[in-house]
Amino acid sequence: MAPPGRIVLEAGYQTVDQRGPEGSGFNFPELELSFGLADGNELMLLPPNYLDQFSGGPAPLRVVGYGPTSIGFRREIVSHSLWQLAAEEIVTLPSGDPN
């Protein structure tokens, strides 16, 4: 949980092996921005990831593009020195090609 008045930025990179050597992919930057509010609350912003996925085999398919943007709210329920229990609600905004 981000302390009140602070921002925590998390980022990652994911490599995917889709059922053997015929499929692969990656996603990045997998960002999550958490804005600390009072009383154990956070606002979250999850901006789009860049996606590149390939499925081989008899009908190869490659998908490249950006994922959706999500926003959320997190509430800390219990805090312990070694763990935390929190509840969160995430809303994914409409995105993509309508066709």
Give the start-to-end residue ranges of the domains of the chain: 7-92
Q: Is the pLDDT of residue 98 over 80?
A: no
Who wins on pLDDT, 18 or 2? 2
Give residue 86's pLDDT. Answer: 95
DSSP at 82: S
pLDDT tens digits for 68-97? 999 999 999 999 999 999 999 999 998 876
pLDDT tens digits for 19-62? 666 788 899 999 999 999 999 999 999 999 999 988 877 778 88
For the stretch 82-89, contacts whose Cβ atoms lie closer than 8 Å and that sit 24 or more positions apart, written own/partner, are 84/1, 86/1, 88/44
Q: Residue 89 is encoded by which pair of tokens? A: 């609600």
Give residue 5's pLDDT. Answer: 95
